[in-house]
């Protein structure tokens, strides 16, 4: 008799063992020659060497399935035990949601983000609301973490109110900044089981922090995402981009039509393409209203605002032009001749 210990690693124990340990009971019934004892994320197996080796093969296949698809049913266990593929792999899936649904790039713009991520270390995804920029970026980060391409995920946002002053928020530092970062938690919660997500956050595998906390850090072996980058100043964006360390990929997302900075400050994202567009290893992906995947009304809203902005620009230009035509000649300041002509005496 030998005793072996198997670690679930990235697999969520709750999913692996099943509701009421139903999956664990099925494993015991399918492997009656070994004794299984499960504690947390460790499974202890006792039996003769041949039977333990057979269980190890089954265990590793089930663990990989659980990590990949975020689900493990009794049907999956039974199919795997008989040497069958319990579920057909989706060729287009980036990752799978906590319900087992494949998360894919649904539009041309999103597919360009996925393609750019594989070929570049720094990607800018710029486009209107509802185009899935942040969602796809986080899906790519989760995939890289699951495939052990990186050791951690770092997510950041500038803590800027959207057009209103919230005042002082109660609680400790985490309580104060969490409302700004909630969209990032929401996306992660759709791709990672709750218990595993909490564990990753507590151990620092996933770090979510405001932009102000990034100064002085070197971010290595990670996928780093800066969301709502239109609300960064040029200095802030430069500071963030220079945090890039070895083995790290960085994704910057934003919408230059929704800038919440004070009028006196310029958006760093708005001028990033002009400054960085020629650098090798940096890719800019521009999305438009055809990439919007939210409610159909969001597309119409974005189009309506763009049309209004174009009309406003045109009307302003017409008014300036008309004012220049209507201005009487007598109101135009006359040039002081003596300031611009050389006096005759100087010609002698």
Asked if pLDDT for residue 269 goes beyond 60, the answer is: yes
Nearest-10 Cα torsion for 284, 289, 290, 294: 110
Asked if pLDDT for residue 314 goes beyond 80, the answer is: no
Question: What average pLDDT score do residues 18-40 get?
Answer: 93
* Cα 45 from Cα 75, distance rounded (Å): 22
- Report the 10 Å Cβ neighbour count for 236: 21
List of residues 6+ apart from 199 with CB closer than 8 A: 205
Q: Which domains does the chain have, with CATH numbers?
A: 2-81 (3.30.1370.10), 93-297 (3.40.50.300)
- pTM to 2 decimal places: 0.80
Q: What pLDDT does residue 10 have?
A: 85
List the beta bridge partners of residue 267.
233
Torsions phi, psi for 70 (to 5 deg): 60, 30
Give how far the C-alpha of residue 201 lies from the chain's centroid of Cα atoms, to the nearest Å: 16
Q: What pLDDT does residue 170 have?
A: 62
pLDDT for 155-210, tens place per residue?
Answer: 998 876 544 444 555 666 566 667 777 888 899 999 999 989 999 999 999 998 88
- Token digits of residue 301: 């809203």
How many percent of the chain have pLDDT more than 90?
Answer: 59
Closest listed residue to residue 131, CA positions, set 237, 234, 258: 258
> Is 97 buried (19+), middle (13-18) or exposed (0-12) by CB count in 10 A?
middle
Antiparallel, parallel or unpaired: β 102-104 and 93-96: antiparallel
Sign of CA dihedral 252, 257, 259, 262: positive
Asked if pLDDT for residue 245 goes beyond 60, the answer is: yes
pLDDT for 51-103, tens place per residue?
Answer: 999 999 999 999 999 999 999 999 999 999 998 888 888 888 999 999 889 99
pLDDT for 209-239, tens place per residue?
Answer: 888 888 888 899 999 999 999 999 999 999 9
Q: Which comes out higher in pLDDT, residue 325 or 247?
A: 247
Number of residues written out for the chain? 348
List of residues 6+ apart from 288 with CB closer than 8 A: 109, 127, 128, 131
Q: Which of 23-27, 40-44, 312-316 has the lowest mean pLDDT?
A: 312-316
Beta strands in 50-205 (DSSP E): 93-96, 102-104, 122-126, 152-157
């Amino acid at each position: 008799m030998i005793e072996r210990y198997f670690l679930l690693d990235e697999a969520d124990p709750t999913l692996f063992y099943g509701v009421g340990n139903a999956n664990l009971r099925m494993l015991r019934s399918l492997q009656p020659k070994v004794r299984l004892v499960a504690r947390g994320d460790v499974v202890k197996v006792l039996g003769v060497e041949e039977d333990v080796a057979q269980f190890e093969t089954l265990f590793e296949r089930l663990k990989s399935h659980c990590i990949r698809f975020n689900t493990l049913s009794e049907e999956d266990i039974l199919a795997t035990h008989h040497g069958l593929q319990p579920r057909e792999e989706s060729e287009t899936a980036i990752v799978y949601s906590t319900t087992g649904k494949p998360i894919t790039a649904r539009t041309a713009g999103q597919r360009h983000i996925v393609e750019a991520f594989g070929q570049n270390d720094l990607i800018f995804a710029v486009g209107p609301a509802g185009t899935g920029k942040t969602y796809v970026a986080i899906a790519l980060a989760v995939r890289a973490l699951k495939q052990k391409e990186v050791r951690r995920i770092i997510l950041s946002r500038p803590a800027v109110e959207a057009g209103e002053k919230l005042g002082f928020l109660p609680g400790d530092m985490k309580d104060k900044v969490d409302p700004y970062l909630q969209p990032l938690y929401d996306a992660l919660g759709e791709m990672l089981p709750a218990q595993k997500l909490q564990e990753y956050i507590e151990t620092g595998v996933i770090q979510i922090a405001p932009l102000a906390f990034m100064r002085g850090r070197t971010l290595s072996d990670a996928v780093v995402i800066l969301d709502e980058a239109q609300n960064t100043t040029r200095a802030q964006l430069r500071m963030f981009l220079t945090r890039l360390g070895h083995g790290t990929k960085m994704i910057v997302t934003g919408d230059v039509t929704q800038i919440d900075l004070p009028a006196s400050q310029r958006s760093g994202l708005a001028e990033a393409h002009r400054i960085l567009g020629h650098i090798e290893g940096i890719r800019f992906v521009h999305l438009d209203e055809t990439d919007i995947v939210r409610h159909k009304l969001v597309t119409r809203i974005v189009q309506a605002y763009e049309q209004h902005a174009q009309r406003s620009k045109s009307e302003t230009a017409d008014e300036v032009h008309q004012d220049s035509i209507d201005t009487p000649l007598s109101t135009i300041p006359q040039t002081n001749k003596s300031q611009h002509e050389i006096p005759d005496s100087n010609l002698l």
